[in-house]
């Protein structure tokens, strides 16, 4: 397997200036078509708290519950919501699957599709976490037996996703480095230890393990789940309905089977006077890139996750270039802005990003300007989400108005209207709409090229 690293433009042209200036470059990392499929080592962490066990009833079944006093409307924070008054009758429970039932169905399908060299571990968590099973494809019966324990577990009412992740990563720690190592995390609510979840995502990235997060419904920590995925090079997936779980899990397996280069990293070596302001992933989702800095910030490492066959990874780099060097040559000064290295195992690709200071410099190309506009809109949306989470509804509303203007300029009319609707709700009530912020977060990520 051979890696390729391409820069656009290969040379950044800048006008001579006595001060630092911003410049952009598109980075594409790809691989040739060679290489056999790699075995997959998977860990699935399923939220098994009470909300995941509640049967999902149809409208007719719900009306029947209300008629018989099984549900009533109450006020929560001034908002009317329906709540169950007791256990769901067996006549309804037996025909109304829960989110956890859909999860079990998805995992049964995955177990059936495993190759002998694949490995799967199943972890359930709520307040506590438990390893249900861990086996390779030659021992499917062990996995099926472990999965059968899922409905009878009682792990508490609250959710501690960090406990489940810790258990999963410990199990993946015994896998071979030639395997594709992935965690799938499924939840429909909130966890009590967000900080530990982010620390574990960073630790996973350092070990070449990507974490894909599946958020279900409209009331979960979308900011946490998206950041965990972005830190580790995984995917962040939004599921509106539990019925979507099997297809989403199957898609993750297909993606893992298509990996061509595992645990891909991009290293940037910056000379003094050059700084990386932002790095934005453009596919498969529009997302901010995080990096680890060493050598006084001169050496940066970005975890890109796994490179799938036929799907190059594209990034937008926003750098601060130094002032024009003194005593330039007749055709203008040239300065190396960054030395780039794409690394996956023993595969390596390198490229140099060079700036040419010349009065004839032209501005960024149309593709770069379009990518920069999408990246800017994404960062604004994330700032608005953070302001709303901190309780600053006024600041969040203003930021969302700016998001709406950016989306309209990009031709994303529906997203612009959604941002304005959410801004109006925050400005008038101090709260966002039910599920509106989550919808906007994931819709913005879909502005990427993938």
pLDDT range class, residue 450, cuts 50, 70, 90: very low
State which of 202, 235, 257 marks the end of a domain: 257
Regarding whether 216 and 107 lie in a shared domain, the answer is yes
Q: How many domains does the chain have?
A: 4
Regarding whether 279 and 145 lie in a shared domain, the answer is no
pLDDT range class, residue 316, cuts 50, 70, 90: very high
State which of 227, 257, 287 marks the end of a domain: 257
Instruction: Report the share of the chain in percent with pLDDT over 90.
Output: 64
pLDDT tens for each residue of 359-384: 889 889 999 999 999 999 999 999 99
Regarding whether 403 and 323 lie in a shared domain, the answer is no
Q: For the residues 438-448, what does the mean pLDDT come to? A: 91
d(CA 9, CA 337): 13
Judge whether residue 70 has pLDDT over 80: no
d(CA 279, CA 316): 6
User: pLDDT at position 77, please?
Assistant: 47
User: pLDDT at position 68, please?
Assistant: 74
Regarding whether 183 and 52 lie in a shared domain, the answer is yes
β-strand pairing of 299-308 with 259-269: antiparallel
User: pLDDT at position 279, please?
Assistant: 97
* Domain assignment of residue 245, yes or no: yes
* Domain assignment of residue 450, yes or no: no
CATH code at position 225: 3.40.50.410
* Domain assignment of residue 194, yes or no: yes
Lowest pLDDT segment from 57-66, 178-187, 236-245, 437-446: 57-66
pLDDT tens for each residue of 247-284: 999 999 889 888 988 899 999 999 999 999 999 999 88
Regarding whether 338 and 433 lie in a shared domain, the answer is no
User: pLDDT at position 235, please?
Assistant: 93
Judge whether residue 224 has pLDDT over 50: yes
* Domain assignment of residue 132, yes or no: yes
* Domain assignment of residue 250, yes or no: yes
Q: For the residues 64-76, what does the mean pLDDT come to? A: 73
Helix orientation angle between 194-206 and 161-172, rounded to the nearest 10 degrees: 20
Regarding whether 268 and 230 lie in a shared domain, the answer is no
Q: For the residues 315-322, what does the mean pLDDT come to? A: 97
Regarding whether 342 and 268 lie in a shared domain, the answer is yes
User: pLDDT at position 249, please?
Assistant: 93
How many other C-beta atoms can be found within 10 angstroms of the C-beta atom of residue 194?
Answer: 16
Regarding whether 204 and 192 lie in a shared domain, the answer is yes
Count of CA atoms in the C-beta half-sphere (13 A) of 294: 7
Question: Measured between alpha carbons, how far is residue 400 from residues 14, 244, 299, 383, 424 in Å?
Answer: 33, 29, 35, 9, 9
* Domain assignment of residue 267, yes or no: yes
User: pLDDT at position 151, please?
Assistant: 82
CATH code at position 267: 2.60.40.3670
pLDDT tens for each residue of 174-203: 544 567 899 999 999 899 889 999 999 999
Judge whether residue 331 has pLDDT over 80: no
Regarding whether 414 and 426 lie in a shared domain, the answer is yes
* Domain assignment of residue 230, yes or no: yes
Q: For the residues 18-37, what does the mean pLDDT come to? A: 88
Lowest pLDDT segment from 90-99, 251-260, 304-313, 331-340: 90-99
d(CA 424, CA 414): 15
Regarding whether 190 and 46 lie in a shared domain, the answer is yes
Structure tokens at 450: 């993938």
User: pLDDT at position 80, please?
Assistant: 62
State which of 328, 347, 364 marks the end of a domain: 364
pLDDT range class, residue 93, cuts 50, 70, 90: low
DSSP labels, 262-328 = EEEEEEEE--TT-EEEEEEE-SSS-EEPPEEEETTTTEEEEEEEEEETT--EEEEEEEEEPPPPSS-
Regarding whether 251 and 132 lie in a shared domain, the answer is yes
Lowest pLDDT segment from 177-181, 280-284, 301-305, 399-403: 177-181
Regarding whether 285 and 270 lie in a shared domain, the answer is yes
Contacts of 297 (CB under 8 A, 6+ apart): 270, 275
- What is the domain extent for residue 86? 58-96
pLDDT tens for each residue of 198-222: 999 999 998 889 999 999 988 899 9
pLDDT range class, residue 51, cuts 50, 70, 90: confident
Residue closest to 417 by CA, chosen among 395, 448, 439, 445: 439
Residue closest to 305 by CA, chosen among 210, 211, 235: 210
User: pLDDT at position 288, please?
Assistant: 94
């Amino acid at each position: 397997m051979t890696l390729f690293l391409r820069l656009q433009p290969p040379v950044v042209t800048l006008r001579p200036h006595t001060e630092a200036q911003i410049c952009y470059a598109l980075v594409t990392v790809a691989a040739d078509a060679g290489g056999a499929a790699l075995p997959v080592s998977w860990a699935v962490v399923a939220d098994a708290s009470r909300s995941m066990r509640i049967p999902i009833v149809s409208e007719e079944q719900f009306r029947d519950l209300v008629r018989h006093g099984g549900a009533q409307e109450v006020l929560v924070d001034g908002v009317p919501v329906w709540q169950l008054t007791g256990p769901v009758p067996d006549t309804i429970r037996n025909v109304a699957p829960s989110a956890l039932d859909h999860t079990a169905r998805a995992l049964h399908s995955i177990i059936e599709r495993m190759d002998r060299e694949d490995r799967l571990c199943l972890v359930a968590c709520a307040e506590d976490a438990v390893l249900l099973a861990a086996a390779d494809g030659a021992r499917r019966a062990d996995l099926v037996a472990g999965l059968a324990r899922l409905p009878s577990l009682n792990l508490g009412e609250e959710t501690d996703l960090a406990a489940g992740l810790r258990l999963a990563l410990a199990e993946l720690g015994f896998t071979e480095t030639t395997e594709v190592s992935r965690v799938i995390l499924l939840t429909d609510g909130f966890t009590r230890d967000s900080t530990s979840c982010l620390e574990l995502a960073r630790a996973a990235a350092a070990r070449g393990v990507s974490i894909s997060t599946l958020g279900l419904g409209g009331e979960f920590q979308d900011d946490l789940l998206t950041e965990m995925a972005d830190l580790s090079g995984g995917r962040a997936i939004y599921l509106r309905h539990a019925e979507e779980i099997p297809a989403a899990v199957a898609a993750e397996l297909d993606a893992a089977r298509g990996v061509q280069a595992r645990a891909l990293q991009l290293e940037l070596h910056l000379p003094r006077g050059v700084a990386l302001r932002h790095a934005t992933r453009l596919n498969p989702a529009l997302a901010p890139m995080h990096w680890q800095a060493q050598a006084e910030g001169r050496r940066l490492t970005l975890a890109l996750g796994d490179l799938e066959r036929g799907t190059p990874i594209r990034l937008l780099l926003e750098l601060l270039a130094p002032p024009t060097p003194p005593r330039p040559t007749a055709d203008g000064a040239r300065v190396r802005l960054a030395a780039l290295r794409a690394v996956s195992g023993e595969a390596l690709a390198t490229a140099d990003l060079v700036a040419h200071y010349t009065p004839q410099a032209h501005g960024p190309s149309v593709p770069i300007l379009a990518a920069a506009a999408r990246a800017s809109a994404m960062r604004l949306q994330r700032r608005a989400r953070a302001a709303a989470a901190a309780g600053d509804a006024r600041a969040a509303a203003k930021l969302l108005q700016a998001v709406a203007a950016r989306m309209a300029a990009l031709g994303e009319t529906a997203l612009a209207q959604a941002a304005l609707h959410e801004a109006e709700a925050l400005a008038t009530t101090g709260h966002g709409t039910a599920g509106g912020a989550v919808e906007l977060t994931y819709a913005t990520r879909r502005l990427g090229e993938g």
